[in-house]
Amino acid sequence: MILFRNAAVASDFLNGKKMSGKSIGFVPTMGALHAGHLSLIAKAKEENNLVVCSIFVNPAQFNDPGDLERYPRPIERDIELLTLAGCDVLLLPSVEDIYPREGLLHLHRYALGHLEHFLEGRSRPGHFQGVANVVDRLLSIVNPDNMYLGQKDFQQVKVLEWLVANTGRSTHIVICPILREENGLAMSSRNIRLGASNLEKASIIFQSLQFAAGNYQRYAPSELQAICIKHIESFPNASVDYLEFCDTDSFQSINDWRDAEHIVAVTAVMVSGVRLLDNMLIK
Ligand code: AMP
C-alpha cells in the first residue's frame, strides 16, 4: 500500500493511473477502522483496478469540540488493517492540506435544502455542510470512478448523492449494507467508547428497528414511532434523539405507510454520552 500525506502528490499519482486506464474506487473514512469500513474496501476491490482509502478526522463536521477531541485515532492499527485488506493507496492528508489558508473559517455553503436541518442535521448544526466540504475536496483530489458509502449513515448518503449530482461529477456512488456486531448493534468507531455493558444493551436499538420492519402494517406511523422510542428508552442509559420513518427517495417523514414506495426507519440514540446511528428499510 502506498501512503500519501500530501494531497497534490496523491492527485498527480492517481491522475497518472487514470490516464493509463485504471479505474479507481474510493472509500472516505475518519479512521478507527472496523469490519464495516473493511467491507467497503472489499467491495471497492471487487469493482475497481485501484482502491483508495482516505483517513481524515474532519474538524468541519464536528459541532462538539469534545467529540472531535475524543474521536479515536489508532493510525498504526488502521494502516495494518488496510494493508491486510489489500487497499492500494491510503490518503492521510493534514487539516492544512484539505483546508488551506484558514479554509476552515471559510467553508463553502452548499444548497442542501431540507437535508441540512432535518434529523441529524437538526441535532448537529453545520454537520452536513462540513461533510459536503470535505468530500467535495477529497473527490477533487482522488477523482474516483466509484465512491463507496455505508447505508449506516443514511442521511449522509443522501447529502453526498446531492453533492455528486450538483457539482457535475461523474463519480458513481455505491451504497453498502450495514455491518453489525453479533448482537445486532451497528458497527461504529464510537462503539469502543461504550463499555461492555452498554455495548450489549445497545442491541435494543436494532431490536426495535427489527420490530418496526416486521410489524409496521399493524400500527399507524406515529403509534409505531412511540412504541419503538419507549422500547429503546426502557434501557435507562439510552435517550432517543429521533426515530423517524422516511421516504428513501425524498428523505421526508411519512405520515401514512402509503405515502412512499420505500420507507426507511432512521434513528439516533445517545447511550451514556455516545451517539449511535442506525436505520433499517422497513418497506
Ligand atoms: P466513518 O469513518 O464513520 O466516517 O465512516 C466511513 C464510511 O464507512 C461511511 O461511508 C460509513 O457509512 C461507513 N460505515 C461506518 N460504519 C459502517 C457499518 N457498520 N457498516 C457499513 N459501513 C459503515
pTM of the shown model: 0.97
With beta carbons less than 8 A apart as the criterion, state whether 225 and 215 touch.
Answer: no
179 CB less than 6 Å from ligand 1? yes
Residue 108: its pLDDT value, please?
97
Enumerate residue ranges in the chain where pLDDT < 50: none
Phi, psi dihedral angles at 51 (to 5 degrees): -110, 125
149 CB less than 6 Å from ligand 1? yes
Residue 111: its pLDDT value, please?
98
Residue 189 Cα, ligand 1 centroid: separation in angstroms?
A: 8
Bridge partners of residue 28, in order along the sequence:
54
117 DSSP assignment: T
Find all residues with CB under 8 Å of 271, minimum gap 6, and list them.
194, 198, 201, 202, 235, 237, 238
- Find the farthest-apart pair of alpha carbons in the chain and give their distance in angstroms, rounded: 57
Active site residue 37: yes
Residue 102: its pLDDT value, please?
86
27, 30, 33, 37: residue to mutate for ligand 1 pocket, most atoms within 8 A of CB: 37
